[in-house]
Amino acid sequence: MKILQQNKNGLFDKVVNLLTEARKEVVRSVNRTMVYTYYEIGRIIVEDEQEGKERAEYGKRILIELSELLTKEFGKGYSVDNLQNMRNFYLVYSEQNSYKVLENENDKKYETGSSIFKIENYETVSSIFETPEFKLSWSHYLKLMRIINPQERKFYEIEAYQNNWSLRELQRQFDSALYERLVLSRDKNKVKELSEKGQVVESPQDTLKDPYILEFIGLPENTSYSETNLEQKLIDKLEHFLLELGKGFMFVGRQVRFTFDEKHFRVDLVFYNRILQCFVLIDLKIGELTHQDIGQMQMYVNYYDRRVKLDNENKTIGIILCKEKSDTLVKYTLPEDNKQIFASKYQTVLPSKDELKKIIENNL
């Protein structure tokens, strides 16, 4: 047997890993260069248009001529539609990255993103304006620049980068109104934070959504199915479910059993959140939530707090996913200072935009 075949975790594997990562970095570098180049092309087009006398007609004519010349020189990829996308890309992201002048006694300050520069001459502020930082692919930005709300757009950009979302996953999270669902559970300061930092998990409430959208499991909305069927579908699509749960979740087990007084109890799904450093217990209910369901979850949480969690870990969180719930029932069943037990509805089909608006309005 050859030497390298005997040493499977040695020289060969190390070289393969290095080359694989190098190729990924080359792809990322090419994507970044492409995005910055398209942004600059958009800037040049806009600046040229601004010098034209009849802007609308001039702009159309210029794009057609530019498309013909670039296609002849570089081949595909420079259609009028694509050039229009580059133009729009510049307009959207130059506006999103526009500066704010802050008054601080007699000083003028220029702010973009997280950087603040003190300047002596306010008139020179435009000369130090910087190009936005782009970390995603052109395909991602084609989707993002069509989101009208700048705060919502920035949120999805941050989340897509931090969580390495594919374009398909970005589309799915947008279609399921992730931003709106998170906004519902936050005060004004927290909503602003979403567009500046993405989803920040500091407390149990920060992990919650209402409703949870579980369209990826493939169960029709009005079909009869059991809690066992629902649980199995979630396990089959565990990667998708973890994405829907949000940041920091790790799967521990299903139907996790514990026993006391000769009686056995099972928690449907057990997760651990490494950010909050606590267990997260999930109970599935296909019908309307009852106070008995809440009491059962309270018992599960108490058991984990007293018998399972370590001293250096935080208190256990319990989430009941149900088809229907009464907020009043939840309010009067749980203590006023409750920070551990939560109930959220779930949907097994992706709602339309009109349905999402109704869901949001009903939760306000």
Identity of the amino acid at 286: I
Q: Could you list the residue range(s) of the whole structural domain that residue 258 is in?
A: 201-353
Do 258 and 303 have their domain in common?
yes
Q: Which helix (H) or strand (E) holds 265?
A: strand 263-273
Q: Read off φ and ψ for residue 268, nearest 5 degrees.
A: -55, -55
Beta strand 341-347 with 249-260: parallel, antiparallel or unpaired? Answer: unpaired
Measuring CA to CA, how many Å separate 124 from each of 61, 110, 193, 355?
34, 10, 30, 49
Please state the separation of Cα 84 from the chain's center in Å: 27
pLDDT of residue 104: 40
- Please tell me the least confidently modeled range out of 176-185, 220-229, 239-248, 328-337: 220-229
pLDDT at 115: 35
Choose among 226, 203, 211, 215: nearest CA to 285: 226
**One domain, residues 245 and 161:** no
Domain membership of residue 361 (yes or no) is no
Are 205 and 240 part of one and the same domain?
yes
Q: 285 and 303 share a domain?
A: yes
Split at pLDDT 50, 70, 90, the class of 91 is very high
- The per-residue pLDDT of the chain, averaged, comes to 79
| Contact by Cβ (8 Å): 280, 249 | yes
Residue 338 lies in a domain: yes
Is 50 or 269 the better-scoring residue by pLDDT? 269
pLDDT (0 to 100) of residue 319: 93
Q: What is the mean pLDDT of residues 241-258?
A: 90
Looking at residue 224, its pLDDT comes to 66
pLDDT number for residue 105: 40
Q: 225 and 106 share a domain?
A: no
User: Is residue 214 one of the residues assigned to a domain?
Assistant: yes
Query: How much is the pLDDT for 337?
Result: 84
Tell me which H or E stretch contains 270: strand 263-273
* Residues 234 and 324 occupy one common structural domain: yes
The answer to the question of residue 39 being in a domain is yes
Question: Could you give phi then psi for residue 118, rounded to 5 degrees?
Answer: -80, 130
Within this chain, do residues 64 and 116 fall inside the same structural domain, yes or no?
no
Residue 294 in domain: yes
CA dihedral 35, 37, 43, 49 (to 10 degrees): -120
Same domain, yes or no: 242 and 295 = yes
Which whole number is the average pLDDT over 279-291?
A: 90
In a domain, 363, yes or no: no
Average pLDDT in the 305-319 region? 94
Same domain, 196 and 223: no
pLDDT of residue 253: 93
132 cis-preceded (ω within 30 degrees of 0): no
> With the CA atoms of 52, 54, 60 and 66 taken in that order, what torsion angle do they form, in degrees rounded to the nearest 10?
-20
Give the Cα-Cα-Cα angle 55, 58, 59 (nearest 5 degrees): 80
Q: Kindly tell me if the per-residue pLDDT of 131 is higher than 70.
A: no
Edge-to-edge strand list for the sheet holding 115-119: 100-104, 107-112, 115-119
Low-confidence winner among 48-62, 93-107, 243-257 (lowest mean pLDDT): 93-107
CB 276 within 8 A of CB 309: no
Residues 315 and 210 in one domain: yes
pLDDT band of 55, cuts 50, 70, 90: low
**Residues 60-87: what's their mean pLDDT?**
88
- Residues 156, 249, single domain; the answer is no
Report how many domains make up the chain: 4
Q: What is the DSSP string of 130-194?
A: -PPP--S-HHHHHHHTT---HHHHHHHHHHHHHTT--HHHHHHHHHTTHHHHHHTTS-HHHHHHH
Report residue 332: phi and psi, to 5°: -90, -10
Report pLDDT digits (tens) over 178-235.
Answer: 888 787 666 666 777 787 778 777 777 777 777 788 888 877 765 567 888 888 888 8
The candidate with the shortest Cα–Cα distance to 224, out of 289, 293, 286, 288, is 286
Mean pLDDT (whole number) for 94-122 = 44
The pLDDT value given to residue 113: 36
Task: Express each pLDDT in 315-327 by its tens digit.
Answer: 999 999 988 888 8
Range scoring the smallest mean pLDDT among 140-144, 327-331, 348-352: 348-352
Instruction: Tell me: pLDDT of 144 over 90.
Output: yes
pLDDT in the model for residue 124: 36
Tell me, what's the pLDDT at 112?
37
Domain boundary among 180, 200, 220: 200
Question: What mean pLDDT is predicted for residues 53-72?
Answer: 78
Angle at the Cα of 324 (from 323 to 327), degrees rounded to 5? Answer: 140
Residue 136 lies in a domain: no
Position 86 scores a pLDDT of 93
Domain boundary among 200, 220, 240: 200
| Per-residue pLDDT tens over the stretch 112-124 | 333 333 334 433 3
Q: What confidence tens digit (pLDDT) does each residue in 6-37 have?
A: 555 567 778 888 888 888 777 777 888 889 99
The CATH number given to whatever domain includes residue 272 is 3.40.1350.10
Q: Are residues 153 and 35 in the same domain?
A: no
Residue 360 in domain: no
Helices (DSSP H) in the chain: which residue ranges?
3-6, 11-51, 55-74, 80-96, 138-144, 150-162, 167-175, 178-183, 188-197, 227-236, 238-245, 291-303, 327-333, 353-363
User: Rounded CA gap, 197 and 1, in Å?
Assistant: 54
- Give tens-digit pLDDT for 261-275: 888 999 999 999 999
pTM over 0.95: no
**What's the confidence (pLDDT) of residue 204?**
78
